Amino acid sequence: MNDRERFLATMRYQPRDRAPICDFGFWKETIPTWHEQGLPKKVRWGVTGKPNTTNEFFGMDVFDRALNVSTGICPVFEQKVLEDRGETRLVLQWDGAIVEESTTHSTIPTHYGHTLVDRQSWREHYAWRYDADDPKRYPTDWQEKKKEWQTVDGRTEPLIIYGLSLFGRLRDYMGLENIALVPYDDPAWFEEMVATQADCFIRVVKRLFDNGAVIDGCAMWEDMSYSGGPLLSPGHFKQFLVPHYKRVTDVLRSHGVDIIWVDSDGKIDDLLPLWLEGGVNCMFPIEVGTWGADPVKYRKQYGKSLLMMGGFSKRILSGSKEGIRAEVLRLTPLVEEGGYIPFADHRVPPDVPLENYMYYLKCAREVWGKGVNLKPLGRVYAPKPIKAVG
């Protein structure tokens, strides 16, 4: 089987040669750290199977080849450095947020200000950027891409439509504190912003379907939970978001797209049943966290109606080899049942030794992959010994 066939069979609980062997990615510091631990210097992070990418080196299957259209704001804001502060700098981001970011290490930037602050700024700077007919949303080689998207003959990787966000992008545009107040202070405006995003996505994806595109899955992004629970109350989620998720997922399913996942960090337990109600049937990347999320528990709770990806604790990856193998074996019955693709919960941090990661891959390829039709695994080199001084 190729990557596409294996992915679809797995997520539809159909027979397959083996489970997909995948990953979500790595922190920016991880690959340079691993270079010092024996990873060839030429290897760079990349999620395709192209030469010298991590996906190619680690022998990963591809589950998320993106269909290159834009479903968010278009055009994006011109990114600018507004002030250099030495170890930090103020930046106007592509989404209109003004953030203070570190110049020395990778971290989530701190919001400093926002272009979106009220109804007027929404209509002046954002609403018009959701014009689904803007030609800049679509590739310049539209006719060639249409031919590529219309056929599955020769397609070896799943083709995924990315981009829908009903809450997460608004949070980024306005900042968490500001967007948290809008459903209370101006619910009609909140509804308008949510509906605008859904309308744009539906119109874009309908254009693709009208032009014969065959799409294998849909990826949404929200990041709307933290360690204690959701950033939007379940009541507001059900009131404002679920109806628009239903609109979107109804269109997708009417064109055969039955694998629809949402990427959200944090403790998602209170929102998970509402996503399912809205037609979103896959959770990604199942962040284990300090709250102990567990794919095995979710399957017992929701049955086969819930598809999942992720859920292998990065803390276990940074621990002992015995712990890594034990977790691989613990998840194996769920992997073999189908509807689940395991990989590290969120991106692999630099405190995971390369030796541990290679051992994890050895176990995964042996137990989940059964040694069948596996892609080649790159060779790790021993670090050069440090020469004594004097």
Tens of pLDDT, residue by residue over 318-350, are 999 999 999 999 999 999 999 999 999 989 999
Helix (H) or strand (E) holding 91: strand 88-92
pTM over 0.75: yes
Q: Which CATH number among 3.40.50.300, 3.30.70.2860, 3.40.50.620, 3.20.20.210 corresponds to the domain 3-74+116-367? A: 3.20.20.210
- Reported as a pLDDT band with limits 50, 70 and 90, residue 383 is low
Alpha helices, H only, the chain: 3-11, 30-35, 54-57, 119-125, 142-150, 168-174, 176-185, 187-210, 234-236, 242-254, 272-277, 295-302, 314-317, 321-337, 354-367
Per residue in 149-186, pLDDT (tens digit) is 999 999 999 999 998 999 999 999 999 999 999 999 99
CA distance 214 to 279: 19
Q: What is the dihedral of CA 374, 158, 25, 318, to 10 degrees?
A: -50
Per DSSP bridges, beta strands 80-84 and 159-164 are: unpaired
Distance between CA atoms of residues 125 and 130, nearest Å: 10
Q: What is the pLDDT of residue 388?
A: 43
Percent of the chain clearing pLDDT 70 (strictly above): 97
Q: Is the pLDDT of residue 384 over 60?
A: no
Tell me: pLDDT of 290 over 50.
yes
Instruction: Give the C-alpha distances (Å, rounded to integers) separating 159 from 2, 108, 262, 342.
Output: 13, 29, 16, 20
Question: 379 vs 214, 266, 365, 376, CA distance in Å?
Answer: 37, 35, 15, 10
> Could you tell me which of 128, 18, 23, 25 has the C-alpha nearest to residue 73?
128
Of the CA atoms within 13 Å of residue 58, those in its CB half-sphere come to 33
| pLDDT of res. 389 | 42
CA distance 105 to 147: 43
| pLDDT for the residue 105 | 77
- pLDDT beyond 50 at 49: yes
Burial tier of 85 (Cβ tally within 10 Å: 0-12, 13-18, 19+): exposed
| pLDDT for the residue numbered 255 | 98
- For 193, other C-beta atoms within 10 Å of its C-beta total 25
Cα separation, 33 vs 35, in Å, equals 5
| Average confidence score pLDDT of the chain | 94
Q: Are 359 and 321 in contact (CB under 8 A)?
A: yes
Q: What average pLDDT does range 16-28 have in this prediction?
A: 95
Q: Write down the domain spans for the chain.
A: 3-74+116-367, 78-114
Single-letter code of the amino acid located at 111: H
Query: Over 90: is that where the pLDDT of 305 sits?
Result: yes
The confidence score (pLDDT) of residue 46 equals 82
